[in-house]
Amino acid sequence: MRIGIFTDSYKPYTSGVVTSISTFKEEMTRLGHEVYIFAPSYPNYNDTEDNVFRFFSVPSPTNPDYTLAVPVYPGLNMIVKKLRMDIIHVQSPFTMGRVGLHYARKYNIPLVITYHSRYDQYVHYVPLAQDLAKEVTIKYSSSFCNHCDHVVVPSQDILEIIREFEVNKPITVIPTGIPLYKFEGANSSWLRENYDIPEQNKILLFVGRLTKEKNLPFLIKAFQKIKMQIPDTTLVLTAQGPMEAELKSLCKNLGLTGSDVIFTGALPFETLVDVYHSADLFVFASLTETQGLVVTEAMAAGLPVVAVRASGVQDMVDDGLDGILTNEDMDEFVAAVCKVLVDKDLYDELKGNAYRKAEMMSSRSMALKMEKLYTKLLEQRIYRSNRFLDIGSWFGN
């Protein structure tokens, strides 16, 4: 198959969406398919991979690390015709999603959307009329989904949510899988070799974006309380984002030093695997996840998880089996972390089950599910086209 991916974010930007696209592209290519990426450009970044088409872009006013594509690409119509794509798979309903929709309609190509994000939960980036912005966002994204042939979601929670938004097209749950082979042979001493972390300290790890929706002030304040009970602990935040300065200021105000809370910035995936293996526990307080891909990545490194119970995340964590889920309650969250750290039998049980959960979520298994969906859509399109031709022949056409 020849698959066109239209996305509003791609490398070098780091996010769960980018990881998802990269993982599926790699696995689909290994399965023998051709994958073409249509994405925004980034300053001073040159692609080292084939089949990537970059649109002229401008910096986002609310996130300087992110660029917004200008949906004009001279000669794109000829490129699309030449590529003869079998499937167009858009990764958001916005700028590049609209481009993908246009060409899917024009050339009668099956159109899939992956509903990666709770877009209505990001309206805090809009300076005014946030309630109205939320309502408009829900109506717009739902309408876009209803113009697609099929909707993919990363969790059952998100399926139920967008059904409430009146999305009436077929929906399939296909989480982003984990490339388990990349988690082999990791350096479990990487964090201590690169940062001043005492040998006896337990390392709590967060991976993600430093943004409001990740609920990081809650996590940092919880860590302060954890450290009061278990002094030999360190919190590592492997991420970058617009809240970095604010969060560092919060740490200072709470009396947490640079050796108590470590900001590593964004790291390439190869190094991130070492970071996961260097930690003892994964902690997560986000309330807006569609899947929480970093949670399953942590499990692939054998990390138990303590997370706030929220959509997406609760699909990935079996409470009491491979992690602990809590309410967004500071004392409850702190108690859960401390219990896992001091109860060795519980820790070992959660760790073993985390490994087993990750094995069920391999990237190849998820890619095979996506391949099956693509094949079904192509068969349906061919059937409808042939049926239309047969009907036309009845009238002498």
What tens digit of pLDDT does each residue of 235-250 get? 999 988 899 999 999 9
Q: What is the CATH number of the domain that holds 51?
A: 3.40.50.2000
Residue 151 CA to residue 254 CA, distance in Å, equals 44
Same domain, 195 and 173: no
Q: Are 161 and 222 found together in one domain?
A: no
pTM of the model: 0.75
- Give me 45's structure tokens: 């970044």
State which H helix or E strand residue 281 sits in: strand 281-284
Q: How many other C-beta atoms can be found within 10 angstroms of the C-beta atom of residue 168?
A: 10
In this structure, are 209 and 170 located in the same domain? no
> Considering only 6-10, 154-158, 159-163, which range has the smallest mean pLDDT?
154-158
| Residues in Cβ contact with 204 at an 8 Å cutoff, skipping those fewer than 6 apart | 223, 226, 233, 234, 235, 236, 279, 280, 281, 282, 283, 337
Look at the block and give the residue holding tokens 């001279």: 74
- Segment 256-292, tens digit of pLDDT: 999 999 999 999 989 999 999 999 999 999 987 767 7
Same domain? 222 vs 352: yes
| Residue the block writes with tokens 């399939």 | 172
Q: How many CA atoms lie within 13 A of 101 on its CB side?
A: 19
Task: Kindly tell me the sign of the dihedral angle through the C-alpha atoms of 357, 284, 189, 200.
Answer: negative
Contacts of 271 (CB under 8 A, 6+ apart): 190
Looking at the structure of the chain, the number of domains it has is 2
Reported as a single tens digit per residue, the pLDDT across 315-366 is 889 999 999 999 999 999 999 999 999 999 999 999 999 999 998 889 999 9
One domain, residues 15 and 116: yes
Question: Are 72 and 169 members of one domain?
Answer: yes
Structure tokens at 158: 């998100």
Instruction: Say if residue 153 is in the same domain as residue 217.
Output: no
Q: Please give the single-letter amino acid code of residue 61.
A: P
Q: Is the pLDDT of residue 124 over 50?
A: no
Do residue 158 and residue 200 come from a single domain? Answer: no
Q: Domain range spanning residue 125?
A: 2-177+363-394
Q: Are residues 118 and 37 in the same domain?
A: yes
Q: Do residues 297 and 374 share a domain?
A: no
Closest CA to 222 of 213, 208, 233, 212: 233
Do residues 210 and 108 both lie within one domain? no
Of 305, 228, 237, nearest in space to 267 by CA: 237
CB 172 within 8 A of CB 150: yes
The reply to whether 207 and 328 lie within a common domain is: yes
Q: What does DSSP say about strands 202-207 and 233-238: parallel, antiparallel, or unpaired?
A: parallel
